[in-house]
Structure formats: structure tokens, C-alpha cells
Amino acid sequence: MCASPSNLEDLMKDPKAAGLLGDKALLQSILNAPDTQRLMQLLNQAADGGLKQAAGAAAKGDTQALAGLVKQVLASREGARLAEQLNRTISQGR
């Protein structure tokens, strides 16, 4: 896939994403939360240490590897629980 310079623009068109990205305190608290840190660990384990490479490719427009990792982690009981908790945290922060 080729890089898409409008990825951030597209993301900012989503009201929830734009609101989250605009609330630096909430975003920082979510990033530092233990559940988020654990979710990142699960993603990195699923990527066999290659999460940064998958994220870098996604930033350039090739989301296939990162999407596969997210799907794999969310299919696990722990991953699904952590994602649901993260969803609740974001909703409560609004």
C-alpha cells in the first residue's frame, strides 16, 4: 500500500478521535494506564517484538500488519477485556 498523507486528517474527522486527540490530559492518562501498558505488551508479544515496525508501516499507510496484530490480540480473552476497559475509560473521560 502506498502512504496516505491524509490519515491524520481522516482521523480528525471522527468526532470521538478528534475529541480524544484534543484532550491531552485524558490522552496522557490513557497512555499511562496499566491496562493500556498491558495491551501494548500483548501487541508487542503478538508481533514477536516487531510492534514498532508494524506501527511505522501503518503510519505510512500500510495498516495490514498492525490490523492483524490488533485482531489477534482482541481475539484473546485478556485482550478483549483490556480493550473494553480502555473503551470505558475513554467514554468516562468525555
Evaluate whether residue 71 is within a structural domain: yes
Structural domain range at position 36: 14-93
Instruction: Evaluate whether residue 81 is within a structural domain.
Output: yes
| Residue at 6 is within a domain | no
- Residue 49 within a domain: yes
More confident residue, 60 or 92: 60
Is 86 a member of any domain? yes
Instruction: Look at residue 9 and tell me if it is in a domain.
Output: no
27 pLDDT band, cuts 50/70/90, is: confident
Identify whether 43 is part of a domain.
Answer: yes
Tens of pLDDT along 56-80? 999 898 999 999 999 999 999 999 9
Residue 7 located in a structural domain = no
Q: How many domains does the chain have?
A: 1
Measured distance CA(87)–CA(94) in Å, rounded:
11
Cα–Cα distance, 47 to 51 (Å, whole number): 5
| pTM, 2 dp | 0.74
